[in-house]
Amino acid sequence: MAVIRISTPLTDEITASLKAGDNVIISGTLYTARDAAHKRLVSLIREGKELPMDIQGQIIYYVGPAPAKPGQAIGSAGPTTSYRMDSYAPILMEHGLKGMIGKGSRSESVRDAMVRYKAVYFAAIGGAGALLAKCVKASEIVAYEELGPEAIRKLTVEDFPAVVVNDTFGNDLYEQGVKEYKIDTCK
C-alpha cells in the first residue's frame, strides 16, 4: 500500500494533493480538542477574541487521551467520534484550520466546508489508542487544563498513521468503501 508522508503546517497544495482512500503518515504538530474545547474555541471566535493557539494550516485531532504513565509522553490516544464536532468545524476551517483527525462520518455542511476551504478529514483507527500513542513524542497543555481529558494539548507526532476520508474534491471514503463491498440481498 502506497503511503504519503506529510508534515504540518498543511498548505493548500498539500491538501489538494490528497485523495479519499490515501494512506498518510503525519509528522509535526497536532492540536487536540473535543466537544468542550470546541465549544469554547467557537465562542471565542464569535466574540471576536483571540484563540489560545494559531490554527492557520493546523490539524486538530479529536482525542481525549488517557493519562501518561511515568516515562510515557501520553497515555493511549486514539480518535473519538467526529460528528459531535460537526457544528463547530466549518467556522474553524473558515479561520484557517486545514485538517481534522477523528473517526466516523461528517455532515454535509462539514464536507462542503472542506471543499470550500481546502481542508481534509483523516480517520485514525478507533480503538488503537495504545498503538497511536507510540507516535506521540511530546505533549503539552495549551489551554483549559480544568477540562481534564478534554483540555487542548499540543502534540508533537512522528509518523502518525491516518487515512484520508474526505478530500478537497468532495469524495468520501466511507461511501466508496461501502459501495465496493456491499452485497445486495433482495428481499
Q: Cβ 62 to ligand SF4, closest distance in Å?
A: 10
Which does residue 25 bind out of another protein, ligand SF4, none, counting CB within 5 to 8 angstroms by kind?
none
| Contacting another protein within 67-126 (CB under 8 A) | 67-69, 72, 75-78, 80-81, 83, 103-105, 123, 125-126
In whole angstroms, how far apart are CA 92 and each of 51, 131, 148? 11, 29, 22
The label of the residue with cell 457544528 reads 87
Identify the residue among 127, 137, 141, 159 touching another protein (CB under 8 A): 127
Q: What angle do CA 174, 151, 73 make, to 5 degrees?
A: 85
Return the number of the residue (11 or 81) whose C-beta is nearest another protein. Answer: 81
Identify the residue among 96, 126, 149, 161 touching ligand SF4 (CB under 6 A): 126
Exposure pattern of 72-111 as b/e (b: 16+ CB <10 Å)?
A: bbbbbbbbbebeebbebbbebbeeebbbbbbbebbeeebb
Site for ligand SF4 contains 104 (CB under 6 A)? no
Q: C-alpha grid cell for residue 74?
A: 501520553
Q: Which residue has its beta carbon closest to ligand SF4?
A: 127
Identify the residue among 12, 112, 127, 170 touching ligand SF4 (CB under 6 A): 127
Q: Cβ 124 to ligand SF4, closest distance in Å?
A: 10
Specify the 3-state DSSP secondary structure of 102. strand
Return the number of the residue (127 or 148) whose C-beta is nearest ligand SF4. Answer: 127
φ/ψ bin of 105: left (φ > 0), alpha (ψ from -120 to 50), beta (otherwise) = beta
Site for another protein contains 58 (CB under 8 A)? no
On whether the CB atoms of residues 14 and 26 are closer than 8 A, the answer is no
| Contacting another protein within 133-172 (CB under 8 A) | 133-134, 147-150, 161, 163
Give the binding site for ligand SF4 (CB under 6 A): 78, 126-127
